[in-house]
Amino acid sequence: MQLLKKNIEKDFEILTTIHEILSIAAGFSVSDAEDFILVLHKHVRVVDITKHVVCDLWWLVAPEELSVLQLVESMENHLLVIAPDNETLESKDHDRAYVKGLRFAEMTFELYATANKS
């Protein structure tokens, strides 16, 4: 049962992180946004995509707040330490079934790459 609990926590970590970023942006949480931006970047692995995701999430609940972009840009060195931009988006879960295109990092990369071409 412990293994199942650990896997569920790991699988839902990205959703929990997104929820917490939205809560911080809305002012419902006193947590530090930097902590959750780092966790999000661990999944996204591309600094520019992390910036876009965080800013878009923040804008959903606090469109008047513009300081989040400065926050993410000030964290760029920390983000690069966690996951350098030159890393690939390949799956790190070798022990689990991998379905191309279903990872959060791949979906966000495709979304923002397509949006930037428009």
Top pLDDT among 56 and 10 is at 56
* Lowest model confidence (mean pLDDT) among 42-46, 82-86, 95-99, 102-106: 95-99
* Position 6 pLDDT exceeds 90: no
Domain span at residue 20? 2-117
Q: Do 34 and 71 contact (CB within 8 A), yes or no?
A: yes
Nearest to 66 by CA among 80, 79, 55: 55
In this prediction, what percent of the chain has a pLDDT beyond 90? Answer: 52
Rounded to an integer, what distance in angstroms lies between the CA atom of residue 60 and that of residue 1? 37
User: How many domains does the chain fold into?
Assistant: 1
Nearest to 49 by CA among 107, 90, 103: 107
* Lowest model confidence (mean pLDDT) among 21-25, 59-63, 64-68, 96-100: 96-100
DSSP state letter for 74: H
Q: Do 29 and 16 contact (CB within 8 A), yes or no?
A: no
